[in-house]
Structure 1
Amino acid sequence: MTPFLFQTTPNLLFEAGSVRKLPDLVATLGAKRVLLVTDRGVRGAGLTRGAEAALGAAGLACDVFEDVVADPPSRVVEAAAALARARGADLVLGIGGGSALDTAKLVAYLARTDARLDDLYGVGLADGARLPLILVPTTAGTGSEVTPIAIVTTPSAEKRGVVAPVLLPDWAVLDPDLTLGLPAPVTAATGIDAMVHAIEAYTSRLRKNPVSDGLARQALGLLASYIRTACADGADREARAGMLLGAALAGMAFANAPVAAVHALAYPIGALFHVPHGLSNALVLTGVLRFNLPAAEGLYAELAPILDPAARDLPAGRAAERFVAALEAICRDCAVPASLTAVGIGVGDLGRLADDAMRQTRLLVNNPRPLTREDARAIYAAALSGPPPAAGTEDNAPS
């Protein structure tokens, strides 16, 4: 068998109401002063209230940095790290979506070292110690709580990644109650993001491994089973729990079998037009999958029955097409915007998007099929009007 290395968060707690246990986890890490990293929306919605109350009741000091924004700029990360140093934090607690968790990872590292953020972009360049770190997601999407990756927006509006094992937290706390009532558009976008993580991990050209494969399949099954229900009924606890666990499993998968062209093409959409990351992925998802079909048909066919049981006995080509169609159906059913024009992107923007996508070399090398600038521009161009109308049911007939 091909050798591989698999790394993930060492401790994961999955339990409704588990934020009440945060003081015990902080104590096991020997900390007494916590810096809570979050954003104003999450805190304003009361999602940090339970954690703050529990820490206060346990006599633990808790300072709050709540200025995280989507696609966090480097200046926000640096400001949070400066606060951690100024207040003498000895543990960082991230609560929120992927932006808050990514920021918390980097704060835990920067507050303990003399490193400059600009020197960390890339793979394995953050190699010093960090403060103890606990991450608590409030969306079921990024899987950031189990990945060694943090994404930052540079002053030039480019998304750059810091990738290093030291960014894996000591604890990931999955509390489904924190995702109850999440608005349907956010549920859909973050859920699609998690599904993309599973799909791209399973088809990654580099570092594909059997552990990630198993996690990706399990994640895709959970996410596909629950995403429609979670969007339709934000209070459904079973659906919320399934989505949260699915996102974490997908995160474990792609942290070890990296994502590829869907993310490479999504990043410029988010950085240049401030489109949420999950929605950016959804807008280019099926275009990239169709581009990859000549190289990934067999792998898509293996995943197809997870989304569409009728694809189980079809030839690989038809099963792969059903796989793409099933993802389009999920996006439609969850009311995900279907075109780039719906988010304010026009023909005149395609060249810059393609140029920026080609800078994502860290991701493009993992794609099952080599992708050129012309290919990227063509995928963006097709996404201007969205996917074609839903296919008929002719494939239901025996082959």
Structure 2
Amino acid sequence: MQPFVFNTTARLVCKAGAATELGHHTAALLGGTVLFVTDQGLRAIGLEKGAIASLEAAGIKVSVFDGVEADPSLATLLAAVEMAQATGATGIVGFGGGSSMDVAKLAALIAGSGEDINEAWGVGNAKGPRLPLVLVPTTAGTGSEATPVSIITVGENEKRGVSSPLLLPDIAILDAELTLGLPAPITAATGIDAMVHAIEAYASKSANNNPVSAMLAREALTLLGANIETVVREPRNHAARQSMLLGSMLAGMAFGNSPVAAVHALAYPIGGMFHIPHGLSNALVLPHVLSFNIEDESNGSWQHYGELAPLAFPALTEPPSPSLARDFIAELSALSARLGLPQRLRDCGIGEEALPVMAADAMKQTRLLVNNPRDVSEADALAIYQAAW
């Protein structure tokens, strides 16, 4: 067995209604003044009220930063940091989807240490310390509550990441009741996103691909495959929602240690340039990246995809083979279509003339591309986009 390191969230609370007990679970950690990071959409429906009331009942002063947008910008992050500093925050709560949790992670880091964000970009460059951090996901997709990564949009459309164990929260709260109101398109796209995390973690070329991540990825894909269509058809199915939330978190634990690869690298320009949600961006390129990977049988990706196939799709019962890997990819495409997601880049308003620019941008995601089972050149990226167009 090769050496590996496995880091994850220190404490998990998985319980329906746990968000309304937030003060009970976190008061001793967060201190007397909290910055609560969320977005205006969640505030408009009042989803955060129970969590904030619980914090206040525990004697905690809460200041709310609700300026997080999809694909949060550096300006948004710095505004959150400024508010944390101005209010004397002793702890940070991130409440929402991946964007809110990403902002909360880096706000905790910068407000706690005062370090320059420009020196923290990349893998292992953050120094810390950070403020105490609690994350409460409201979607079953990013798994950000269990990953050491935060992604921020810099400039017009460049996505940059900070990857450090410092960004793992002290506590994650998994409360499926927060996900019951999610519209079907968001439920579907975030669910596919979580499946991508499990698939890429399992097949990652990272030197830190390890037995713990592999086990978690397999269990995650089993839960996600068994429940994703149910939650889209039956949006208030509590059991399926909780299974999706757990599956998403397990996939986050997996790829937080065995990092994702080319699917994400090619998805980022789609989101950055066209503001397409991250989960949908992943879904659009997923089958085409996996097909590219198995074209070269020597990298062994067909073996990984074949091992995962029956977990997500129990009807695929034969032993792993290149043929089974192709069937797995076809089933992923069919699942995306059944869930009602757009199938082509052109369906999302992306013109063919944008593909070369996207391919060039994807090459900037070197921290992800190095993990792909097969090397990806700019010409390869362009061919994958053309296949997806």
Structure-2 separation of matches of 1:53 and 1:301:
48
CA apart distance, 1:291:
0.3
> Is residue 308–residue 322 contact of structure 1 (8 Å, CA) maintained in 2?
no
Q: Which residue of 2 aligns with 1:395?
A: none
CA–CA distance in 2 between the matches of 1:12 and 1:292? 35
Moved more, 21-30 or 150-159: 21-30
Residues in 2 aligned to 1:32 and 1:38: alpha-carbon distance in whole angstroms: 19
Q: Paired residue for 1:159?
A: 159
The residue matched to 1:130 in structure 2 has which SS? coil
Checking the alignment, whether the CA contact within 8 Å between 1:39 and 1:68 is kept in structure 2 is yes
For 2:113, what is the secondary structure of its paired residue?
coil
Please say if residues 115 and 127 of structure 2, whose CA atoms lie closer than 8 Å, have aligned partners that are also in contact.
no
Letter in 2 for 1:344: G
Q: Post-superposition shift, 1:57?
A: 2.2
Look up the match of 1:242.
243
User: Which residue of structure 1 aligns with residue 221 of structure 2?
Assistant: 220
Q: For 1:54-69, what aligned pairs fall within 5 Å after superposition?
A: 54-69=54-69
Tell me which of 301, 304, 318 is aligned to 2:309. Answer: 304
| 1:304-353 alpha-carbon deviations (Å, 9 max, x no partner) | 11123333225612211111111112101101110101111111001100
Amino acid at match of 2:245: L
Query: What is the CA-CA distance between 1:21 and the residue it aligns to?
Result: 2.1
Equivalent residue number for residue 342 of structure 1? 347
| 1:194 aligned onto 2:199 | no
Q: How does 1:43-58 map to 2 (within 5 A)?
A: 43-58=43-58
Amino acid at match of 1:257: S
2:71 alignment partner AA: D
Q: What amino acid is aligned across from residue 267 of structure 2 in structure 1?
A: A
Equivalent position amino acid for 1:373 in 2: E
For the residues of structure 2 that align with 1:27 and 1:321, how far apart are their CA atoms? 50
Aligned pairs, number: 384
Q: Which amino acid letter does the alignment assign opposite residue 316 of structure 1?
A: S
| Cα gap change, 1:25 to 1:314, in 2 (>3 Å) | closer
For the pair 1:105 / 2:110, whether they are aligned, the reply is no
Kept after mapping to 1: 8 A contact 2:101/2:135 = yes
**Is contact 2:27-2:60 (8 Å) kept?**
no
Q: Which moved more, 1:320-329 or 1:138-147?
A: 320-329
Give the residue type in structure 1 aligned to 2:24: D
Paired with 1:189 and 1:334, the residues of 2 have a C-alpha distance of 9
Other-structure match for 1:115: 115
CA distance in 2, matches of 1:335, 1:132: 40
State the partner residue of 1:397.
none
Partner of 2:112, secondary structure, is coil
Q: Does the 8 Å CA contact 2:22/2:51 hold for their aligned counterparts?
A: yes
Pairwise CA RMSD: 1.0
Moved more, 14-23 or 270-279: 14-23
Matched AA of 2:223: L
Match of 1:275 in 2: 276
Percent identical: 54
Aligned partners of 2:97, 2:253: CA distance in 1, in Å?
16
**4+ aligned runs moved over 3 Å, structure 1:** none
* 2:262–2:372 contact (8 Å) kept in structure 1: yes
Match of 1:115, SS?
A: coil
Q: Paired residue for 2:255?
A: 254
> Matches of residues 1-399 of structure 1 in structure 2 within 5 Å?
1-29=1-29, 31-206=31-206, 207-293=208-294, 294=296, 295=299, 296-314=301-319, 316-384=321-389
SS at match of 1:310: coil
8 A Cα contact 1:108 1:131, kept in partner: yes
Q: Which runs of 5+ in 1 are unaligned?
A: 385-399
